[in-house]
Amino acid sequence: MTTGCRPAAAPPGADAPRVGAGYAACHHGEILQGVFRDAHGHGRVAGLVTLPMPGLGTHAEFVRSPGAAPEELWVTPAGRTKALSAASLAVRECAARRREAACGGRLRLSGDIPVGLGMGSSSSDVIAAVRAVADSFGLRLSPRTIARLAVRAEQASDPLMLDGRPMLFAQREGRVLEVLGDALPAAVVVGCAVGGGRPVDTLSLPAPDHDDEDVRAYERLRALLRRAVAEGDPALLGQVATESARRAQQRLGHDEFGPLTEIAARTGAVGVQIAHSGSVAGLLFDPAARRLRRRLRCCADALEDQGIPVTKIFTTFTTSEEFPHGRAHSGVDRPAGPRQTGGRPAVPAL
């Protein structure tokens, strides 16, 4: 198995290559991340709730070469070793289900997710690769199976294989701890980049050391987020995001956290959200707030004045758009979330 772009040669008489396609979206960091009690109320497990972000993702194409050795796997661009590992695992999984021999092939990835900013670029690569391999076998793997393969491929995975509902997800175990509801409360997010937009080396950060008080605090935030989702309350959503980001500063230490919270208070944002393993951040606004466009413009201007570049303005609104996961993944509806009755704010991406 290699990361080069030279195609694997199939032996004479081998079947024709079979092509599959896959897609996975990204996210904008976390609304909540910490350590929680497991389903039985005892023990600790790391978990997170991500903030979905529309419009960016990874497309994958896998050209399967029946008859080629399973080790003859190639990926383009070179260096995407996690996605290649996921493709290898997915080939063996799908071949076993089809009662076929595992084989080699070529994986090609394309997309527009910035790398190293905490937006789930590696998870997106991995999940798109698994879906493309499955599609080349004419299969559609369940989210649970994709999560299992993703964790094996990259040790921890974001929950991008799920259906878009807000879920507390154990990223190192690949399992859902709790489905919090149907959709996050509607909010408008002014996205920005802290730390100069430089990638964060999470391996260089001190390992989190959570005690019982931390678990109790995160469980309170979990309950508050559950209530925010049930009531569709963006203010509670912002409260959870801000407190989670504040607690993460003990490890991340972003210089911009103070200015972000000050700008949020001055412009009427309901909260501040920061990726716990990257440099993307966002200020959350209630879409029903008075003079919303003016608030958003004032927020963007204030961020720029502080030297914090604005990246994109987007919403948490979920649509019924179908994402292309290849032939075996077509016709999959995404649940429709709450819509703003007055329409989305006509704010341009910056």
pLDDT of residue 139: 96
- pLDDT exceeds cutoff 70 at 340: no
DSSP assignment string, 57-102: EEEEEEEEETTS-TT-EEEESTT-HHHHHHHHHHHHHHHHHHT---
Domain of 317, in residue numbers = 18-329
Half-sphere exposure of 185 (CA within 13 A, CB side): 27
> In the chain, where does DSSP find H-type helix?
81-98, 121-136, 143-154, 212-231, 234-252, 257-267, 292-305
Whether residue 340 is contained in a domain is answered as no
Q: Could you tell me the pLDDT band of residue 302, with boundaries at 50, 70 and 90? A: very high
Question: If pLDDT is split at 50, 70 and 90, which confidence band does 117 have?
Answer: confident
Beta-carbon contacts of residue 124 (< 8 Å; ≥ 6 apart): 24, 25, 26, 57, 58, 111, 113, 158, 160
Amino acid at 311: T
- What span, in angstroms and rounded, lies between the C-alpha atoms of 121 and 171? 15
Span of 43-47, 103-107, 203-207, 307-311 with lowest mean pLDDT: 203-207
pLDDT for residue 2: 58
The candidate with the shortest Cα–Cα distance to 180, out of 9, 48, 329, is: 48
Asked, for residue 64, whether it belongs to a domain, the answer is yes
Model's pTM, two decimal places?
Answer: 0.84
Lowest mean pLDDT among 18-27, 31-40, 133-142, 240-249: 31-40
CB 126 within 8 A of CB 154: yes
Task: Please say if the pLDDT value at position 231 is more than 50.
Answer: yes
pLDDT reported for residue 11: 43
In a domain, 62, yes or no: yes
Range of lowest pLDDT (27-36, 90-99, 107-116, 182-191): 107-116
322 in a domain, yes or no?
yes
Q: How many domains does the chain have?
A: 1
Model confidence pLDDT, tens digit, residues 6-63? 444 444 444 566 999 999 999 999 999 999 998 766 689 999 999 998 889 999 999 9
**Could you tell me if residue 349 is inside a domain?**
no
The pLDDT tens digits of the residues spanning 66-100 come to 989 999 999 999 999 999 999 999 999 999 999 99
Report if residue 237 sits inside a domain. Answer: yes
Query: What is the share, in percent, of the chain residues with pLDDT greater than 70?
Result: 81
Cis status, amide bond into 54, omega within 30 of 0: no
Q: In whole angstroms, give the CA distance from residue 90 to residue 142.
A: 12
Domain assignment of residue 130, yes or no:
yes
Q: What mean pLDDT is predicted for residues 133-142?
A: 96
Question: What CATH number is given to the structural domain containing 273?
Answer: 3.30.230.10
Give the type of residue at 63: V
Q: Would you state the pLDDT for residue 342?
A: 39
125 occurs within a structural domain: yes
What's the pLDDT score for residue 163? 74
pLDDT value of residue 122? 93
pLDDT of residue 205: 58
